[in-house]
Chains A and B, each alone.
Chain A
C-alpha cells in the first residue's frame, strides 16, 4: 500500500518561532497533497490544497501568510507555521493523492502534534 511519511510526529516550541512540518509520499508520486488541522475530539478541517509546482489553494479563513505551504516536488509538501502562538497548537495531518492510480482515495500521514508554549 501507499505510504505517507509525516515528520515530526510531535513538536514543542516557544511562542514566536516557526515550525516546519514535512509530508512525503514514499512509494508514489502525488501531484496533490492536502493539509488538515484537527482539534481534540473534533473532525478534520481542511486548511489548504497543495499542488506541485504551483501556489497552494487555501480554504476560507485560513491565513496564507501564517501557514506557508510549499510543494516543490512530486513527493514532498511542507507546511510552515510562522510565528507560532499558543492558539496554533493543534494536530496537523497531511494527505496525498496518488497521481497514477485510483484518484479519489487519499493516503494520510500519521500527523504532527504541535504544542506552542
Chain B
C-alpha cells in the first residue's frame, strides 16, 4: 500500500529559484529517503534521513524530518533546468528494508 502523500503534485519554477516539496507518511519509520526519477527512467537516491535526525544537507539539497507530524520536506536551492524530474519520498517502515513510496512531485524548472 502507498505510504505517503506528497505535495504539491506538480511544481513549476524559474531557474535559480528554490523548490520545496513536502511528504507526509502514516506509520512509524526507521528512515525516510528521497529519490529522483527522470521521465521513463529508474530512480536515483538523493538523500536519507534517519528517524532520530531532524535535518540533513547534501549539496543544494536540504531535508527536514518531523516525526511528531509524520512529515518531511525536500528543499532544492538555486534550481537548475537539469533538476526537472519527479521527486519521491520513500519510507522504510521496518527492518525488512523494503521502501514504500509517496505519490511524488513533478518538478519543472524553466530556463
Contacts and interface: CB of A to CB of B under 8 A. Distances in A.
Interface string B1-38: 11000000000000000000000000000110101000
A91 B48 CA distance: 25
A43 B88 contact: yes
Contact of B45 (A49, A60, A107): A107
Interface stretch (B55-63, B70-78, B90-98): B90-98
Nearest to B96: A49
B101 A109 contact: no
Given A49-B98, A104-B30, A104-B92, A43 B2 contact: yes
What class of interface size applies to chain A in its complex with B? 20 to 34
Given A103-B97, A106-B45, A108-B43, A43 B33 contact: no
A32 interface: yes
A101 interface: no
Contacts of B40: 91, 111, 113
B45 A105 contact: yes
Contacts of B45: 105-107
B22 to A, nearest CB: 15
B102 to A, nearest CB: 6
Interface of A: 4, 6, 32, 34, 36, 41-46, 49, 59-60, 91, 93, 95, 97, 103-111, 113
What class of interface size applies to chain B in its complex with A? 20 to 34
B59 to A, nearest CB: 16
A70 B21 CA distance: 37
B48 A104 contact: yes
A26 to B, nearest CB: 13
A108 B98 contact: no
Contact of B102 (A36, A43, A97, A103): A43
Nearest to A45: B2
Contact of A4 (B33, B42, B104): B42
A115 B43 CA distance: 21
B103 to A, nearest CB: 5
B48 to A, nearest CB: 6
